[in-house]
Amino acid sequence: MALTENEIQLKLQKIKTFIFDIDGVLTSGTVLVTEEGHMLRSVNIKDGYALQHAVKQGYNIAIISGGKSEGMLQRFKGLGITEIYLGQKNKVAAFEKILKDFNVLPENVAYTGDDMPDYPVLKISGLACCPADASNDIKEICHYISPIKGGEGVGRTLLETAMKLQGTWWNEETHSW
């Protein structure tokens, strides 16, 4: 089901809504469990930069995850993301709410997921994306398979590519140094 590079670029030129799973996409999928039972995840700072930059440039960014980490909630809120759905057993319901809230159609959404809970949403997304280390079942249905593993900049690569194609990556206000 993978698209050609040209087909992906054509889709990315039009997409303004990006939805990401957390574990295995914006993290490596590894969880460190403390003696107290806290589950700690590691995120890629470059993903964070791209997420907040996309929000500032007017893109719709949302998170749908089966996990319920307060730390992840605070991380994404701090990046300016307002549509954050944690503890989702039915990701399609959250996806449909995001579509309604952003007033967009499924074909105008890029969704990035890595495992079976993401399968139903990937099937109805306009651009189904996954990291290089996604499950084989997920890779089979995705339009775009990143060359990068989860937690190593998958979000950054997708957003940067889309924003460069749309001419919104470079902006003197947000890149002033």
Say how far apart CA 169 and CA 133 lie, in whole Å.
Answer: 27
Question: Nearest Cα to 60, choosing from 126, 147, 146, 140?
Answer: 126
- What are the tens digits of pLDDT across the range 75-89? 999 999 999 999 999
- What are the tens digits of pLDDT across the range 86-139? 999 999 999 999 999 999 999 999 999 999 999 999 999 999 999 999 999 999
Say how far apart CA 35 and CA 20 lie, in whole Å.
Answer: 29
Q: What is the mean pLDDT of residues 19-48?
A: 93
- What are the tens digits of pLDDT across the range 137-171? 999 999 999 999 999 999 999 999 999 999 999 87
| pLDDT value of position 173 | 64
Is there a contact between 21 and 64 (Cβ–Cβ < 8 Å)? yes
Is there a contact between 122 and 130 (Cβ–Cβ < 8 Å)? yes
Beta-strand pair 109-112/17-20: parallel
Residue range 5-164, CATH number: 3.40.50.1000
What are the sequence ranges of the domains in the chain? 5-164
Say how far apart CA 111 and CA 120 lie, in whole Å.
Answer: 11
| pLDDT value of position 60 | 98
What DSSP string describes 37-89?
--EE--B-HHHHHHHHHHHHTT-EEEEE-S---HHHHHHHHHTT--EEE-S-S
Report yes or no on whether pTM surpasses 0.85.
yes
| pLDDT value of position 176 | 53
